[in-house]
């Protein structure tokens, strides 16, 4: 039993001791030995994850301004109820409303352009009838382009307007006179002369007949191949290495064929996972366009939930097959003749979790994984397959081990140890194993009950340590697999940490930044094991509103390490070991705390690829200034160098688009390799010196 967890008074005393001990009286001694190196740090560690959840894809990165643009919902003056569930899981859509009485707009199921129905507007000679959507954000001087798909009674005139104010001049209108009985696309262009966050889009007709609206689209004219220009500009700064897509839970109900071809003909569907309408505008080809725009490698997860191995193999052929293959021919017909050569492929997402569509016992999943792997590799033997794992930390924290075999902390290789079983029985059919973790602010797993409980008072250091603790925990579990699965030593299967984040900090806050830096350091210390990462989500790197976007503190951190930290890790030692873990080891609690022997600091160092530059990062996760004495062995450095530092005045500093940033990365030239330094509280410092 852990006495600290049971006695709140003693826990407070422990917190006080930790706080006092973090303010070092004597300088911390650290030694960097550049002659002792580890496996190269993969650029894929700095990757990102995207999923169709809430507005992350359809609103945050895609430039489409109109919701329900292919008319899944009926159009009347009583819009449907808002979707249920947490707001982060779905986005309340702006609804189309009739112009005129409700009875003049009906949903025609007999002649839809796409999906199950299309609106049919009955006209009147005495008043205007049509449909409208409000709540759009437009800016003065910007142009907006789009299209509308119409069919109707010959002679009908349709007017499409973008309206940003109440004056007669606060609108631009495109008049369409060539409506006919067959659906036809018409281009739209508007130049706005005022700012509005509640602009309105109208489609109205005049005459005595009727007209259908098959689909409609509106984007800022400066969109980059369908993506928001300001978001692309922000994300491109990260040089992320890899993007994982399309899920996440979403993928287990996703039919990839619904999201290829003419975007206006892709059917809108109700996503069975997040219970939100998906327009299917951002599919495989759009994702590959995004990867090209951001210059990142693509990582596609196939539907292992309600999907099958034949569909997965067809997707591999669609993306990687020659134009002479059936699916390659289809890709070319969709405007993409050259194969994409996607290298990384995930087989399913979290099939171990009862929340997942198609979840099943591990013995069945092993068979399914092997079936998928063989079918996919038959199409392209060069692909790298990533198995959907979950080590005892994930199986404990999610309570899935208890569901599967009654153990809160599963025995290794038992039915509750998902990763262990995959590594033991699917080793020949995977190249990496997917692992996920989400640290929750102020929570821990009680190993006696399996429930998430409050940690109680925490020092800032222990709060910042949480994500790195999860990285360390998975490392320790992997060492146990090496003991139990001899074949794993002959064929190492590194970790793809393709979902990870810290939950509970305010959006765009600096507070999580030292925590993520610490997690990076722990991955660097085990660079042979951690070779791919995909942070949840790419949009968590930016502060944005509907028209602008900038990197937030987390984005600045990723950019800072990607641009300035080395790739060949070197040994760091010190005279101040990290304290022992507060809680008993097991599940998601490691036996050894993460961090270098420089407590309360964490120091990590690496050489550049060509070994001509040495970099070292000094993280201070405490709320007090720390003194560090540094020795560097195994290499001689020139005296002049650089330091990049994030050290805001408050750990809760933020970056909010449109406001003066409270966090920045400051660069400074220095004229000597520091042998002693003062490290500001909750700061991150990366030093760089050329090797003589």
Distance CA 495, CA 434 (A): 6
Residue 85: per-residue pLDDT: 63
Distance CA 453, CA 581 (A): 17
Strand partners, 227: 62, 224
Strand partners, 120: 106, 212
Residue 228: per-residue pLDDT: 98
The answer to whether 275 and 84 have CB atoms below 8 angstroms apart is yes
Q: Which two tokens stand for residue 526?
A: 């085990």
Helix (H, G, I), strand (E, B) or coil at 380: coil
Distance CA 412, CA 396 (A): 12
Q: Please report where in the chains the tokens 């420089």 appear, as a residue.
A: 598
Distance CA 595, CA 30 (A): 13
User: What is the 3-state secondary structure of 420-444?
Assistant: HHHHHHCHHHCCEEEEEEEEECCEE
Rounded to an integer, what is the distance from CA 612 to the centroid of its chain?
33
**CB under 8 Å to 343, separation ≥6 — which residues?**
297, 298, 382, 383, 384
In terms of DSSP bridges, do strands 48-49 and 535-536 run parallel, antiparallel, or are they unpaired?
Answer: parallel
Residue 657: which of 576, 539, 530 has the closest Cα? Answer: 539
C-alpha distances in Å from residue 168, one per residue of 161, 171, 270, 659? 12, 7, 39, 33
**Start-end ranges of CATH 2.60.40.1180 in the chain?**
3-40+572-691
In terms of DSSP bridges, do strands 157-163 and 242-245 run parallel, antiparallel, or are they unpaired?
Answer: unpaired
Q: Which CATH architecture has domain 3-40+572-691?
A: Sandwich (2.60)
Residue 41: per-residue pLDDT: 98
Backbone phi, psi, residue 61, to 5°: -120, -30
Is the C-alpha dihedral spanning 522, 523, 524, 525 positive or negative?
Answer: positive
Other CB atoms within 10 Å distance of the CB of residue 347: 28
Backbone phi, psi, residue 280, to 5°: 60, 25
Q: Please report where in the chains the tokens 């760089």 appear, as a residue.
A: 688
Sheet containing strand 626-633, strands side by side: 666-670, 637-646, 683-691, 613-620, 602-607, 568-574, 28-37, 626-633, 676-679
Backbone phi, psi, residue 654, to 5°: -130, 165
Which one-letter DSSP state was computed for residue 45? G
In which element (H, E) is residue 600 found? none
Question: DSSP alpha helices (H): ranges in 485-511?
Answer: 486-490
**Start-end ranges of CATH 3.20.20.80 in the chain?**
43-61+224-565
Task: Round the CA-based radius of gyration of the chain to a whole number and report it.
Answer: 28
Distance CA 299, CA 432 (A): 12
Distance CA 339, CA 336 (A): 8
**Start-end ranges of CATH 2.60.120.260 in the chain?**
87-220
Backbone phi, psi, residue 249, to 5°: -55, -35
**pLDDT (tens digit, 9 = 90+) per residue, 633-660?**
999 999 999 999 999 999 999 999 999 9
- How close are the terminal C-alpha atoms of the chain, in Å? 54
Distance CA 664, CA 449 (A): 43
Distance CA 645, CA 587 (A): 35
The parts of the chain modelled with pLDDT lower than 50 are: 1-22
The fold adopted by the segment(s) 43-61+224-565 is TIM Barrel (3.20.20)
DSSP class per residue in 323-376? TTSHHHHHHHHTT--S-----EEEE-S-TTSTTSTT---HHHHHHHHHHHHHHH
Residue 17: per-residue pLDDT: 45
The fold adopted by the segment(s) 87-220 is Jelly Rolls (2.60.120)
**pLDDT (tens digit, 9 = 90+) per residue, 607-640?**
999 999 999 999 999 999 999 999 999 999 999 9
Residue 523: which of 567, 481, 485 has the closest Cα? Answer: 567
Can you list the positions of beta strands (E) in 568-664? 568-574, 602-607, 613-620, 626-633, 637-646
Residue 25: per-residue pLDDT: 67
Burial class, 206, CB count within 10 angstroms (exposed 0-12 / middle 13-18 / buried 19+): middle
Residue 126: per-residue pLDDT: 84
Residue 207: per-residue pLDDT: 82
The answer to whether 269 and 310 have CB atoms below 8 angstroms apart is no
Residue 328: per-residue pLDDT: 98
Strand partners, 444: 453
DSSP class per residue in 232-256? HHHHHTT--SEEEES-SGGGGG--G
Distance CA 331, CA 472 (A): 43
Burial class, 678, CB count within 10 angstroms (exposed 0-12 / middle 13-18 / buried 19+): exposed
Residue 137: per-residue pLDDT: 98
Residue 80: per-residue pLDDT: 72
Q: Compute the half-sphere exposure of residue 279: CA atoms within 13 Å on the CB side of its CA.
A: 23
Other CB atoms within 10 Å distance of the CB of residue 90: 19
User: What is the 3-state secondary structure of 290-306?
Assistant: HHHHHCCEEEEEECCCC
The answer to whether 578 and 593 have CB atoms below 8 angstroms apart is yes
The answer to whether 335 and 323 have CB atoms below 8 angstroms apart is no
Residue 208: per-residue pLDDT: 87
CA dihedral 377, 379, 381, 386 (to 10 degrees): -40
């Amino acid at each position: 039993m852990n006495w600290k967890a049971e006695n709140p008074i003693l826990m407070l005393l422990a917190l006080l001791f930790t706080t006092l001990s973090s303010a070092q009286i004597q300088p911390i001694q650290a030694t960097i030995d550049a002659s002792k190196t580890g496996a190269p740090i993969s650029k894929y560690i700095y990757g990102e994850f995207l999923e169709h959840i809430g507005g992350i894809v359809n609103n945050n990165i895609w430039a489409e301004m109109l919701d329900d643009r292919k008319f899944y919902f009926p159009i009347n003056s009583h819009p449907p109820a808002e979707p249920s569930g947490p707001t982060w899981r779905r986005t309340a859509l702006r609804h189309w409303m009739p112009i005129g009485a409700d009875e003049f707009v009906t949903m025609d199921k007999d002649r839809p352009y796409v999906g199950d129905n299309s609106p049919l507007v009955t006209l009147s000679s005495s008043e205007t009838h049509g449909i409208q959507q409000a709540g759009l954000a437009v800016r003065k001087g910007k142009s907006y382009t789009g299209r509308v798909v119409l069919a109707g009674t010959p002679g009908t005139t349709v007017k499409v307007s973008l309206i940003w104010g109440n004056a007669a001049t606060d609108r631009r209108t495109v008049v369409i006179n060539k409506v006919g009985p067959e659906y036809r696309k018409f281009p739209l262009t508007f130049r706005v002369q005022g700012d509005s966050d509640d602009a309105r889009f109208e489609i109205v007709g005049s005459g005595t007949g009727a007209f259908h609206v098959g689909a409609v689209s509106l984007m800022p004219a400066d969109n980059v191949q369908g993506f928001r220009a300001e978001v692309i500009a922000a994300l491109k700064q990260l040089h992320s290495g890899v993007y994982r897509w399309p899920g996440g839970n979403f993928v287990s109900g996703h039919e990839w064929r619904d999201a290829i071809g003419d975007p206006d003909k892709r059917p809108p569907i109700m996503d069975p996972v997040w219970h939100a309408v998906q327009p299917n505008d951002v599919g495989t080809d759009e994702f590959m366009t995004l990867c090209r725009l951001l210059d990142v490698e693509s990582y596609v997860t196939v539907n292992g939930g309600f999907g099958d191995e034949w569909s997965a193999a067809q997707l591999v052929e669609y993306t990687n097959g020659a134009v002479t293959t059936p699916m390659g021919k289809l890709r070319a017909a969709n405007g993409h003749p050259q194969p994409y050569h996607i290298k990384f492929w995930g087989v399913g997402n979290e099939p171990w979790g009862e929340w997942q569509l198609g979840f099943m016992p591990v013995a069945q999943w092993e068979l399914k994984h092997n079936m998928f792997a063989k079918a996919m590799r038959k199409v392209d033997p060069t692909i790298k397959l990533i198995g959907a794992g979950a080590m005892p930390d994930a199986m404990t924290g999610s309570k899935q081990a208890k569901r599967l075999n009654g153990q809160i902390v599963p025995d290794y290789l038992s039915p509750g140890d998902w990763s262990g079983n995959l590594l033991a029985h699917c080793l020949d059919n995977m190249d990496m194993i997917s692992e996920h973790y989400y640290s929750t602010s102020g929570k821990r797993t009680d190993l006696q009950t399996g429930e998430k409980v409050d940690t109680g008072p925490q020092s800032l250091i222990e709060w910042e340590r949480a994500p790195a603790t999860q990285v360390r925990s998975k490392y320790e579990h992997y060492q146990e697999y090496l003991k139990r699965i001899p074949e794993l030593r002959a064929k190492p299967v590194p970790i793809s940490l393709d979902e990870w984040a810290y939950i509970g900090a305010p959006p765009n806050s600096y507070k999580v930044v030292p925590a993520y830096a610490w997690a990076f350091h722990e991955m660097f210390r085990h660079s042979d094991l951690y070779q791919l990462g995909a942070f949840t989500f790419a949009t968590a790197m930016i502060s944005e509103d509907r028209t602008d976007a900038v990197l937030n503190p987390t984005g600045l951190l990723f950019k800072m390490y990607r641009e300035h930290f080395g790739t060949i890790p070197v040994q760091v030692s010190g005279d101040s070991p990290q304290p022992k873990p507060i809680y008993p080891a097991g599940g998601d609690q490691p036996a050894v705390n993460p961090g270098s022997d420089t407590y309360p600091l964490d120091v990590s160092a690496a050489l550049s690829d060509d070994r001509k530059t040495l970099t070292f990062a000094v993280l201070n996760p405490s709320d007090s200034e720390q003194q560090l004495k540094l020795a560097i062995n195994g290499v001689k450095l020139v005296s002049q160098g650089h330091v990049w530092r994030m050290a805001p005045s408050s750990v809760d500093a933020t970056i909010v688009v449109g406001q003066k940033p409270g966090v920045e990365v400051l660069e400074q030239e220095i004229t000597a390799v520091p042998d002693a330094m003062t490290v500001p509280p909750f700061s991150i410092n990366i030093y760089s010196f050329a090797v003589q």
